[in-house]
Amino acid sequence: MRRSLVALGLLLGLVSGSSRTLALDPPTVYRNTVGGVVWIENYLPGNRVTSGSGFLVDRSRRLVVTNYHVTDNEETVDVYFPVRAEGKIADDRDDYRKNRTALAKAGAYSPGRVVAYSTSQDLAVLSLRAIPDAAPALRLATTDPQPGSEVNLIGNPAGRPLWRWCAGTKPGVGRVQATYKGFARGDLSVDFKAIHCYASSFGGNSGGPMLNDDGEVVGVCQSGGGEGGLYCSAVHYSEVKELLATIRLHRVFSIDNASSVTLSYQVRWGDGEWKNAQVKPKHHMVHWLAGGTDAKPQVRFDCSTEPGFQEKVYTLDYYTSHLGRNVKPSRDRDAREYYFQFDQSGQVLDLYSKP
């Protein structure tokens, strides 16, 4: 990657999708969508590095879709958007790695946190810290590709330049039921609705979009094989929509207990019911409320060792995160942090906010 790539004037992504209703030719589909396709690199225990593909599906929430097996049970992966240098997309992997700091400042690189996943559907949704201004969110299809039509695959096959296109022929709807070995969590068993086609797809295309001739995502490339390795399967767009529908806004706070005794308290959100809670010594408790409400949390507790209930009540602040299936809020990533502290001299318990 030449110096011009890291200059202030570097161009990120490509133009957004066309509003045309007529079928687009493959070069136009590629030009309109490649800016929303990402390269994913995943560093695993034992000095293993794997890579794959994905695509931006929601600009406002900065969400990227990929395969679960691309993440291989890691909570965070590296995500790169394509950049243009001297009029062409830069396609050398080492150049992106070497310029990661500059790319991050421009929004073309970001850690991607897994915020929803389904092992059976082999899907994962990533949340990014930043995205390029010009990166288009790819639209999910609403109908299956027609028999006899062609589809477009964009991804990052291993051992080849990044952001490659290839054609898929004879697409059809089917199902994938299989078990794959060699993953961090053990065997990966999948069972999902699929779009099958014939295409020269390779390892590294996993997670990338399979697009119809309107530039809409009909599937997420998942596996290849068959005679000559030319049979490609993709997770059906309906499975992607189903997983995305589980992502909701979570309001999150946590309470730490640095003392040597278990502490009891009560929590409620807004005008809801008080619910009992306990936090063990040297532990923390994470609390959250999912959904579209602006209710604030309240905490009350007995603040004194004196007889009777010496009540203190606090209304707390929270942080927000968009989270979905199989991902719970965490203290370190999502929570506004508070802690209990016991004043030995006054024998009074109080709740404090962490800076």
Q: Is residue 210 located within the same domain as residue 337?
A: no
Q: 201, 221, 244: which is the final residue of a domain? A: 244
Q: Is residue 164 located within the same domain as residue 139?
A: yes
**Residue whose entry in the numeric block shows the structure tokens 């409620």:** 268
Q: 244, 262, 296: which is the final residue of a domain? A: 244
Q: Is residue 266 located within the same domain as residue 216?
A: no
Q: Is the pLDDT of residue 15 over 50?
A: no
| pTM exceeds 0.85, yes or no | yes
C-alpha angle with apex 79: 109 to 156, nearest 5 degrees?
120
Minimal CA–CA distance to 53: which of 29, 33, 31? 33
DSSP 82: -
Residue 346: per-residue pLDDT: 60
Q: 244, 273, 308: which is the final residue of a domain? A: 244
Q: Is the pLDDT of residue 345 over 70?
A: no
Minimal CA–CA distance to 136: which of 40, 209, 221? 209
The CATH number of residue 199's host domain is 2.40.10.120
Q: Is the pLDDT of residue 226 over 70?
A: no
Q: Is residue 147 located within the same domain as residue 272?
A: no
* pLDDT tens digits along 77-134: 999 999 998 889 999 999 999 999 999 999 999 999 999 999 999 999 999 999 999 9
Q: Is the pLDDT of residue 320 over 90?
A: yes
Q: Is residue 301 located within the same domain as residue 225?
A: no
In percent, the amount of the chain with pLDDT more than 90 equals: 75
Q: Is the pLDDT of residue 19 over 50?
A: no
Q: How many CB atoms lie within 10 A of CB 276?
A: 8
Q: Is the pLDDT of residue 333 over 50?
A: yes
Residue 4: per-residue pLDDT: 37
Q: Is residue 228 located within the same domain as residue 289?
A: no
The CATH number of residue 343's host domain is 2.60.40
Residue 242: per-residue pLDDT: 98
Q: Is residue 267 located within the same domain as residue 281?
A: yes
Q: Is the pLDDT of residue 158 over 90?
A: no
Q: Following CA atoms 76, 82, 86, 91 in sequence, which dihedral angle do they give, to the nearest 10 degrees?
A: 80
Alpha carbon separation from 12 to 74, 132, 247 (Å, rounded): 27, 6, 28
Q: Structural domain tally of the chain?
A: 2
Interatomic CA distance for residues 64 and 114, integer angstroms? 9
Q: Is residue 120 located within the same domain as residue 207?
A: yes
> Tokens at residue 90, please?
């830069």
Residue numbers of the domain that contains 90: 3-244
